[in-house]
Copies of this chain bind each other. A is one copy, B any other.
Amino acid sequence: MATTGGAGRPEKRRAITRAATTVFGREGYVRAGMDAIAAEAGVSKRTVYNHFADKETLFLSVALQSSAELTGRIRALTAEHLDRVTDLRQGLTDFAVERARAVLSAGETGERGAKAHGDHGDHEDYEDHGDHEDYEDHGALDRAIRAEVANIPADVLEAWQEAGPIARRRELARCFEALADRGLLVAEDAALAAERFTLLTFHGIAERSFWGALPVADAEVRRIAAVGVDAFLRIHGTPRPASGG
């Protein structure tokens, strides 16, 4: 396996992966230090090396995990907004907005950009944070992986893609196929339609915010989502029987 062994308390392990997600996401792979990760996790550096063989193993491990979690999060969003949709335009727009928020988290949640945390002082027991379950840092870690793509072993990169972007494309395509079956979309090739939807509603803001590295105004997210859905429906929407006005 990727990990060193089954040693130690699993709570420590979770604290380490959580801290690694945060620090790698904030600093990137090269700049991140194992000392900082250990400190953020509230454990000794030795404990980190007890669970993960080295820095690269730790990074790739959390990368894969985070990628899968983000995919799950987006899957939940499609289920929520599109599975039983009635107002298609509204459902698509809501989904686009929520997905952009999930991936480009920098806007509201994480206070990235303020480099100076100061002395992060004395919150000793971090591990009972684990309640919230989702770290809110998936987007940042995604960015770190993209920055390191050229230095990631081919097989691991493939696994990351399969658990992340590829799975998301496939699942959205399935969703759009269902919408087409219900007569709500016109799409011979559901995968192509899904790809176009993502391009038109997501990549514009992703590009402008550098995949979440810079904060993105919520109004801008909504604007781009609405305009993107508009373009999408002009290609793949069903011709309205009569436009009410």
List chain A positions with a Cβ less than 8 A from chain B: 28, 30-31, 112-113, 146-147, 149-150, 165, 192, 195-196, 199-200, 203-204, 207, 210-211, 213-214, 227, 231, 234-235
Contact = CB atoms under 8 A, between A and B. Distances in A.
A192 B30 contact: no
Integer count of this chain's copies in the complex = 2
B147 A214 contact: no
B149 A214 contact: yes
Nearest to A189: B227
11 contacts: A113-B150, A146-B211, A147-B147, A149-B213, A150-B213, A196-B200, A199-B199, A199-B203, A200-B200, A203-B207, A231-B235
A199 B204 CA distance: 7
Give the secondary structure class of A's interface: helix
A231 B234 CA distance: 10
Nearest to A211: B146
Contacts of A207: 165, 203
A165 B150 CA distance: 23
A23 to B, nearest CB: 13
A149 B204 CA distance: 17
Contacts of A149: 210, 213-214
Given A149-B213, A150-B112, A200-B199, A227 B192 contact: yes
Residue from A146, A150, A207, A235 with most neighbouring chain B CB atoms (10 Å): A150
B199 A28 contact: no
A115 to B, nearest CB: 8
Contact of A204 (B30, B31, B113, B195): B195
Nearest to A150: B213
Contacts of A113: 150
Contacts of A31: 30
A168 to B, nearest CB: 11
Contacts of A213: 149-150
Given A150-B112, A207-B165, A196 B231 contact: yes
Nearest to A224: B195
Contacts of A200: 196, 199-200
A147 B28 contact: yes
A204 to B, nearest CB: 6
A30 B29 CA distance: 10
